[in-house]
Amino acid sequence: MVFLEFEKPLEKLYEQLEKVKDVGEDGVVDMQATIDELEGRIKQTRRDIYSNLTGWQRVQLSRHPERPYTLFYIEQMCRKFVELHGDRYYGDDKAVVGGIGSLDGQTVVIIGHQKGVNTKMRQYRNFGMANPEGYRKALRLMKMAERFGFPVISLIDTPGAYPGIEAEERGQAEAIARNLFEMAQLRVPIVCAVIGEGASGGAIGIGLGDHVMMLENTWYSVISPESCSSILWRSWDYKEKAADALKLTAEDMKGFGIVDEIVKEPQGGAHNAPEEMAKTLKRQLKKAIAAIQEKSVDQMVEDRIDKYVRIGQVTHAS
């Protein structure tokens, strides 16, 4: 198990539990009472820690190395899934995956960021930072979904769009802007879920939808706390302060009207019970799609545009 800095009390209890279990396995001394006591303390400590997390602690949880990513959710939610590749312009971006899946008999197009589960795969997936061809691949799949009447599911988990010079040369900003333009008018339901990090244009590039949900321990912001700290204080040392100031948690986003729903995670985070998290996410995605499908297509598109027009407030200086 990987423990974050604020989970150190849990780490010590787990170490004690393992030692007691080792003694109990010898069969000389009955340690069951001690095991039960330690397991109870672990549950209570976990409850205490996770009952009042700060913004920075939720950012840390969203980046947990054992947290489930897009391909895990697809595998758990879809009995059948066919991945499709390439943008038909430049190439295939491994940071964005997508294809056609079956969600309990409902055919859907699923797209999402993929970070990779180990060092080699993270490099292969470019740490979930998409190039322009990734967004163009996503758009190609969304237009295909529109052609056949399939709902679109978007799973967001990225530290941002790739900022390299080659990405800029191939039109990074235009690719993201084009996706926003097309997604606003797409004539099939779009349900988006932030499953990890939701940073900047890299997230919104596949994040405009009829219904947007965030998992409990995720974040959504125009900039990461570290980058914000670097700009304001020229140091990463103030990242905790920046995270609080940015108001980037799911609760904040729900309060601002930017997202429509918060999906509760298992206690301790999605990585503690990934299969359970996948079942919960699947249930909420199906529920959201069914609600959107009750509308006419014209009404659905009109409501989607109105949803984004209403976000934010315009003030005029007197």
pLDDT digit string (tens) for the chain, length 318 residues: 788 989 899 989 988 888 888 877 776 677 888 888 998 998 898 888 998 899 999 999 999 999 999 999 999 999 999 999 999 999 999 999 999 999 999 999 999 999 999 999 999 999 999 999 999 999 999 999 999 999 999 999 999 999 999 999 999 999 999 999 999 999 999 999 999 999 999 999 999 999 999 999 999 999 999 999 999 999 999 999 999 999 999 999 999 999 999 999 998 899 999 999 999 999 999 999 999 999 999 999 999 999 999 998 777 766
Report CA-CA distances (Å) from 91 to 67, 136, 234. 28, 10, 37
Phi–psi pair at 249, nearest 5 degrees: -75, 170
Host H or E run for residue 156: strand 152-158
User: Structure tokens of 209?
Assistant: 């939808």
126, 132, 134, 137 alpha-carbon torsion, rounded to 10°: -160
Please state the pTM of the whole predicted model: 0.93
Phi–psi pair at 175, nearest 5 degrees: -65, -45
User: Structure tokens of 246?
Assistant: 């940015």
Phi–psi pair at 117, nearest 5 degrees: -100, -5
Tell me which residue of 263, 232, 258 sits closest to 247, measured CA to CA: 258
